[in-house]
Chains A and B, each alone.
Chain A
Amino acid sequence: METTVQQSITLERMVHLFESNRQVLASNDTALLSEIRDKAFILFGKLGFPDTKMEAWRHTDLKDSLERGYDYYLHPLPEEDVQKVFRCNIPHLDTAIIGQLNGWYVSKEVPLMELGNGIIMGSLAEAKKKYPALVDKYYSRATGDTAEVFTAMNTAFAQDGIFIYVPAGVKSTKPVQLINVIHHYENLFLQSRNLIVIGDNASLSLVHCDDSYNQQASFSNIVTEIFLGENAFLDHYKLQNLNNNSTLISTVYFQLEAAANLESHYLSLNGGLLRNNIRVLFNGTHGNADIYGLYLMDRRQHIDNHVFVDHASPDCTSNEIFKGILDENAHGVFNGHVLVRRNSTGTDARQTNKNILLTDTARVNSKPFLEIYNDDVKCSHGSTTGQLDSEALFYLRQRGIGEESARMLLMFAFANEIVGKIAIPQLRQRIEDMVKKRLQGELQICEQCVLHCSTPEQPVEFKIDMSKI
């Protein structure tokens, strides 16, 4: 078993890694999965890593991230103290916690939990062995033939990740909290793959956290496929609170059957370079997808939200609202692409991106766009980037509220439109507090979980300089 250490991420390295370790990579694969893996490897080789000449990567330059040296492991690392890493809690929130350390499912004693109501949760590697037919039915079906290099690379290399299956008709009562922690003493490159299947008329509430545990650099390429059956419901939260040396490419494919309903919340509070690829496919009529995003970035942090909604079926509704506050030299990118196909009559699609820039050096590239091949649609899109509303500031100050407090109130209000959509009250409270702290520059990355766990020694200095607003 080979482990390559502290090398840049290049096509050559990855090709070599694959060719000399194909057996290990595919050790839990079914025949079908193995075939999918080989095809993906060929596609990956053809595509190669992107550069900024490509439209999809025009404003996000991965060069520095890829060129750093990283360790890559084909097996889980020994964990020193899992308990310490997963000392996570949202006060008073009763969740089923699934832990992932560096992309690997952690609880080896029980790699797959089978709950009384038929819900299965645990390691994807284990699910491939125990439920091969189920995994075969869904794996790589939502990614389809997307010619996307990070998806292809992930499919070629991924060994483990999380598997969740909610059988038809089962309404999961407790939210499931999926915590993916990166913790290593060297720079680490990892890839993991999650597969989540929600049956017809079933429902799930999923809180998915991407966190880092120390300040070590990391590069994560994580692909998640989520299938919503007919009339299924998913309340989805993606919480990102990584250190400033981390690069995360997170790609989530949502596939919705008829009348399925998705509520997705992307809350990015910290990270070095974050790229969220969010892809929604309406595979049946009368589906609904609400996708909300909030990002608070400072220093040289970079956030890129790429949202693609494919209205491939009639009478579906989608609504995207992404809001960001950018300070110092932070850079935000929003790319929203709504495709309304020829036969998708009765489509209702909305897209909004709003940004507040706190400095002259913070930047935003926002591109919401609609591609419509049909007349019977209701679509709207809009994008605004600016400073805080001066009328509102005057109004607040006229009531005796100091300028700093007034700015804070307005920024919080701006963010709170998204925070307010969080349906789990304890989580909403927690995120509200974290956003407040983030805005006041008090947030410590590991103060307490949700977004994160222990290690208070690493500060997150999101201090908004009031004089600059």
Chain B
Amino acid sequence: MLLSIKNLHASVQGKEILNGVNLEVNRGEVHAIMGPNGTGKSTLASVIAGREVFEMTSGEILYKGKNLQKLSVEERAREGIFLGFQYPVEIPGVSITNFMRTAVNEIRKYKGLDALSASEFIKMMEEKKKLVEITSNLTNRSVNEGFSGGEKKKNEIFQMAMLEPMLAILDETDSGLDIDALRIVANGVNKLRRPDNAFVVITHYQRLLDYIIPDYVHVLFEGKIVKSGGKELALELEERGYDWIKKEQVE
């Protein structure tokens, strides 16, 4: 098992957001997480990534059998956890090239590998750019600065391709994409799928799941996963909304 979350409780500024999340992800699987706004989907992603503002109050997260709680954000990343941000951060003055070179080499160093040479790195960038069909000179620009919504999301997938994570959590990477960009993002994910890695995609739209076929669909509601099923659950949610789930909860 790659990721195992048991009875996870987490809060921010004293306010409990997650109250008892259970989730198991095996290598080779794709999981989709859906749910109404503000129910804690992004919070769950941030807690897995180790963001310090969120406090894990109880429960445990095991990744590759190891307890994640003691690992820093960067150590988790170097161990293969990748978070595609719902709102990628603009970092003026840091070029994507410099950013990715630093990231790739710090991860390589962690794994005991030599840093890539400039030419090896450029070759790798070119390959990965093709994979996500980035044609423009995006990579010479500052990270996300002045990018359109769609460009930011494509850039997340590009970074994922560069870092080749074991566990990729994509938080609404499909939001704000046009049909072509959606296909590109989905293709990127599909090309990166391997038997030994896994994806957790957070989305509001079943549309994405036509391209990235999930093995499981979960509904996160008020800080808990309240329903899980196959890909047909996404279709049902699309048709009926969340009201019936809320009712089920009350009963």
Contact = CB atoms under 8 A, between A and B. Distances in A.
A402 B91 contact: no
B94 A409 contact: yes
B93 A400 contact: no
Contact of B110 (A392, A400, A403, A417): A400
B107 interface: yes
B25 interface: no
Interface in A386-400: 389-392, 394-400
A413 interface: yes
A22 B99 CA distance: 61
Contact of A413 (B53, B85, B88, B94): B94
Interface stretch (B32-40, B61-69, B71-79): B71-79
B74 A395 contact: no
B151 interface: no
B83 interface: yes
A402 B93 contact: no
B49 interface: yes
Interface string A408-432: 0110111111001000000000000
Contacts of B88: 395
A412 B82 CA distance: 25
A403 B72 contact: yes
Contacts of B100: 399
Contacts of A401: 74, 99, 102-103, 106
B91 A413 contact: yes
A405 interface: yes
Interface in B140-192: 142-143, 159, 163
B91 A395 contact: yes
A389 B91 CA distance: 9
Contacts of B93: 412-417, 420
Given A397-B73, A398-B49, A399-B99, A405 B106 contact: yes
A404 to B, nearest CB: 10
Contact of A410 (B49, B72, B91, B159): B91
Contacts of A412: 93-94
Contact of B74 (A390, A400, A415, A417): A400
A397 B51 CA distance: 10
Nearest to B103: A399
Contacts of A390: 53
Contact of B106 (A389, A392, A400): A400
B92 interface: yes
Nearest to B88: A395
Contacts of B106: 400-402, 405
Nearest to A406: B74
Given A401-B102, A413-B91, A394 B163 contact: no
B102 A405 contact: yes
B103 A400 contact: yes
B7 to A, nearest CB: 25
Interface in B72-118: 72-74, 77-78, 82-83, 85, 88-89, 91-94, 98-100, 102-103, 106-107, 110
B91 A403 contact: no
Given A397-B77, A399-B77, A401-B74, A392 B103 contact: no
Contacts of A403: 72, 74
A280 B85 CA distance: 45
Nearest to B74: A397
Contacts of A402: 74, 106
A321 to B, nearest CB: 12
A395 B85 contact: yes
Contacts of A416: 93
Nearest to A419: B93
Contacts of A406: 74
A400 B92 contact: no
A391 B89 contact: yes
A413 B72 contact: no
B23 to A, nearest CB: 19
Interface centre among A398, A412, A415, by most B CB within 10 Å? A398
Nearest to B80: A400
Contact of A396 (B51, B53, B83, B91): B91
Contacts of A405: 102, 106
Given A397-B74, A413-B94, A392 B99 contact: no
A396 B88 CA distance: 11
Nearest to A420: B93
Interface string B110-148: 100000000000000000000000000000001100000
B92 A413 contact: yes
B102 A395 contact: no
A301 to B, nearest CB: 23
A417 B92 contact: yes
B77 to A, nearest CB: 4
B134 to A, nearest CB: 17
Given A394-B51, A395-B85, A409-B102, A400 B91 contact: no
A241 to B, nearest CB: 22
Nearest to B79: A400
A396 B100 CA distance: 10
B173 to A, nearest CB: 14
Q: Which 4 A-B pairs have the closest CB atoms?
A: A413-B93, A400-B77, A399-B103, A397-B73
Given A399-B100, A399-B159, A405-B106, 5 more contacts: A392-B91, A400-B106, A401-B99, A405-B102, A409-B94
Interface of B: 49, 51, 53, 72-74, 77-78, 82-83, 85, 88-89, 91-94, 98-100, 102-103, 106-107, 110, 142-143, 159, 163
10 contacts: A390-B53, A392-B89, A398-B82, A398-B85, A399-B82, A401-B103, A402-B74, A403-B72, A409-B102, A413-B93
Interface of A: 389-392, 394-403, 405-406, 409-410, 412-417, 420
